Structure 1
């Protein structure tokens, strides 16, 4: 301050008039400079940050790859460069990148190493029975070295680039977005000073139930019963608890599998090394969980929105169609059915359902009297007959069984479909939100039981009656649940509630804002 005064104050010995004149000239100059600076700032606003280069690497399951691909598409549409990483067979089974995104979306394949006991050509959980998924994780861990090479090459190419290194693939990766299983990747990212984010495709409820390592150490869960009550770090009323048959599966997440590492340990190691936790969810679906998770894990829990299918549904499913003719026949049959008269039946690609239970499901659909379209997947390793003798002939015209892949989004969008019998995988549940269908729920593993209980609490679905000790169900329970939704008065209430949920979650502008806010967070936290 004193230096400024000595340099700019009127010199001693000058007359008051001369001093005043000099002061006026000095003040005019300063005023002009301030006004000019303000004008310049209006003419030249702060430029937006450069586009990001983001490496995206999902776990080897289509229920993971598809939402990772959808998130990548939405980021690419906003001008960011996306490098999507998977294995060759998985890449070949995913739909091609939309032509308009090809300039800033590239797909990189890494060869999956062979592992003793893993079937030849198995590259996703859809290729193996549930008991071999641990071996797939062991093979997946063998991708550490090739992925390290990929990241090193990208950084070296950016360092030597003579082009515009501030945009596109000539830029060093700004972020690596990873899945729960990549506990070895954050060390690679740290070596190259690239921040990581973990993107979890299941609901926030599952992460809240698992909890952070320090809470599990303070409140050890040693018995199956410990998983049948909400964890002690949930301080508000919730449905975050499993039934006995589900609790057995939940407990397995905390034990080492054939890869030598438990799923919980993978998640905790990932959480330790990441800056952001991204969740395929939003506060409208799970209102109390985002602040809780931010507090529990001591880093921002960021909603990506639900990544729901587009308004105009053509065949935009992200998996290549291996049996398109059968799917076309199914749609031809749907076109002939009355509006809202058909229940769509699909248990996902990985539900551990036995052939015996599939027969009970078939007989339950028959007893219900409802029209149905069933996307039936053969249990891994089962080569015999799946359906009861004479089932398809008895139900000809009332039900259609499509063995294998069905374009689920298109089916759910069809006007003849009025309800959805589902395993309550989060991806399928999110797709049901988009079209406002009430649910008949038959959960099996992972987050599915938590999702089913949450949907029942919101009054949008009913569960098939089960033996909660072993998870079995009977045809009568299937028929009763289907009739409750499709025939009885209760179904109208469920349909109204599902429609209200559709209206709440179907605000496209609000869902788009979650992606815009995610981009802001990626720019801010990098």
Structure 2
């Protein structure tokens, strides 16, 4: 990619320390942002833990002078599995223990940002960072920034709609949400009607846990509010106004500071992806996928962190079988084993039209195939960006937590996906799955969904505009440092 205008700018290059939360859905876009900043002539210190750094793709050689990866050893915490360094390594109930271990990185991170030396890039690594860009869980980062007199920005890889739904602490104190019904309603601080920013009952019931102290000693909502409230000068979203109209001015007003888009940070290397893995088990599935008719296969992936239960797996399998549609299923839930959960004889009955892959699946590479016609997804923001905004695939939506329901509502309103019907407790049947899959892949409605998805991709997935948002972000970093 050609160097951009920032390198020729009269402003000196910045040194930016970037530290994502220990989840690959966070680390990958943080690393992509780091690459974009390095391509613009800035020096970036990307911080993670040893095992995570090893699993991320190596820094491109042309950026190695400006982008360095520094690792901090994750402390041992009782109850956390040995070697666990990311949310992909633990079951959902142990994520608070991972956060407790993560909080112990405060002191080594403080020592890191306070040191001098460590690289070239016109000597820019020989000074303290001009900025720290951190994630929503870094409850301790503000005190480090204050100690070293370094401004901070919070980078949220989640959609702006989630921040609008959560709202600032003062609005929550003025309008407390105490009941399930409160969480099912549009927040009162959003001053105009919306048909997307609300939760269904089963989603609202799970939100209460975010307001309760967990095994890390801190409630998740307090992490977000404290990170925002203290030394955070900017809030950056992996989003853009084309994807989420009207939200950025509202959020800047609500949080009393600039809330700016980074753009979608669309992946640039489709073949390689961003995380290393053993591609060999996938190759047989890849050959099968290559041999299918155009737009005939539905790709199925629920991410590595969604709290998928055994009954969800069983009903999803039943639905794929009942749908009669070709499918490739990336079975990557870490806490369970596929062989114990798939219905007896399932893979035999769907042989020839359905493939289940229990090892590594390079998702962007799969989504780029012309044989893929739709995506059964948990509606994580990263997966939505990769499938819909990058390739224009319509969605079969099966959200589980946090922002996923908000994304599903928004995509349904925009006519690019169908949400699987759920009962009030969040359960669904194989028949519900099959009906949604067939609406997208078989029935006449699917043609309109596909057209809408391609049109949205054309508007939102503009790579030139995506780069312009990074240029504008750099201008904010220069202006507010």
Q: Paired residue for 1:73, among 30, 35, 38?
A: 35
Superposition map of 1:248-263 within 5 A: 248-263=205-220
Runs of 4+ in 1 over 2 A off after TM superposition: 381-384
Counterpart position of 1:124: 86
Name the CA distance, whole Å, in 1 between partners of 2:383 and 2:185.
Answer: 26
Name the CA distance, whole Å, in 2 between partners of 1:249 and 1:136.
Answer: 20
Change (3 A) 1:47 1:369: closer
Q: Paired residue for 1:475, among 422, 430, 448?
A: 430
Report the Cα offset of residue 382 of structure 1. Answer: 4.8
- Deviations along 1:395-429, one digit per CA (max 9) or x if unpaired, are 11101111032111010010100000000000000
Change (3 A) 1:313 1:395: same
TM-score, scaled relative to structure 1: 0.87
Name the CA distance, whole Å, in 1 between partners of 2:255 and 2:138.
Answer: 18
Structure 1 window deviating more from structure 2 (406-415 vs 257-266): it is: 257-266
Counterpart position of 2:284: 329
- Deviations along 1:352-371, one digit per CA (max 9) or x if unpaired, are 11122201111110110100
Asked which structure has the greater CA Rg, the reply is 1
Counterpart position of 2:225: 268
Q: Given that residues 54 and 174 in structure 1 are in contact (C-alpha distance below 8 angstroms), is that contact kept between their aligned partners in structure 2?
A: yes
Counterpart position of 1:366: 321
Change (3 A) 1:190 1:313: same
Report the Cα offset of residue 443 of structure 1. Answer: 0.2
Superposition map of 1:2-401 within 5 A: 48-154=10-116, 157=117, 167-238=123-194, 239-272=196-229, 273-310=231-268, 313-315=270-272, 317-322=273-278, 324-380=279-335, 382=337, 385-401=340-356
Report the Cα offset of residue 47 of structure 1. Answer: 6.3
What is the SS of the residue equivalent to 1:275?
Answer: strand
- Deviations along 1:463-501, one digit per CA (max 9) or x if unpaired, are 11111x221110000110000000000000100100110
Name the CA distance, whole Å, in 1 between partners of 2:477 and 2:11.
Answer: 11
What is the SS of the residue equivalent to 2:257?
Answer: coil
Unpaired segments ≥5 residues, structure 1: 1-45
Unpaired segments ≥5 residues, structure 2: 1-7
Matched, 1:452 2:408: yes
Name the CA distance, whole Å, in 1 between partners of 2:53 and 2:69.
Answer: 8
Name the CA distance, whole Å, in 2 between partners of 1:507 and 1:377.
Answer: 30
Name the CA distance, whole Å, in 2 between partners of 1:49 and 1:379.
Answer: 46
Counterpart position of 2:451: 496
Report the Cα offset of residue 171 of structure 1. Answer: 2.9
Name the CA distance, whole Å, in 1 between partners of 2:213 and 2:350.
Answer: 45
Q: Paired residue for 1:405, among 360, 373, 379?
A: 360
Name the CA distance, whole Å, in 1 between partners of 2:88 and 2:300.
Answer: 18
What is the SS of the residue equivalent to 2:327?
Answer: strand
Name the CA distance, whole Å, in 2 between partners of 1:377 and 1:281.
Answer: 26
Matched, 1:461 2:417: yes
Report the Cα offset of residue 248 of structure 1. Answer: 1.8
Name the CA distance, whole Å, in 2 between partners of 1:448 and 1:341.
Answer: 26
Q: Given that residues 230 and 240 in structure 1 are in contact (C-alpha distance below 8 angstroms), is that contact kept between their aligned partners in structure 2?
A: yes
Name the CA distance, whole Å, in 1 between partners of 2:375 and 2:9.
Answer: 48
- Superposed CA RMSD in Å reads 1.6
Q: Paired residue for 2:464, among 491, 495, 509?
A: 509
Counterpart position of 1:423: 378
Report the Cα offset of residue 328 of structure 1. Answer: 1.3
Counterpart position of 1:25: none
Q: Given that residues 57 and 86 in structure 1 are in contact (C-alpha distance below 8 angstroms), is that contact kept between their aligned partners in structure 2?
A: yes
What is the SS of the residue equivalent to 2:383?
Answer: helix
Report the Cα offset of residue 167 of structure 1. Answer: 4.7
Report the Cα offset of residue 386 of structure 1. Answer: 2.2
Q: Given that residues 32 and 267 in structure 2 are in contact (C-alpha distance below 8 angstroms), is that contact kept between their aligned partners in structure 1?
A: no
- Deviations along 1:38-84, one digit per CA (max 9) or x if unpaired, are xxxxxxxx961111100000001111001101100111111111100
TM-score, scaled relative to structure 2: 0.95
Q: Given that residues 205 and 450 in structure 1 are in contact (C-alpha distance below 8 angstroms), is that contact kept between their aligned partners in structure 2?
A: yes
Higher relative contact order (CA 8 A, sep 6+): 2
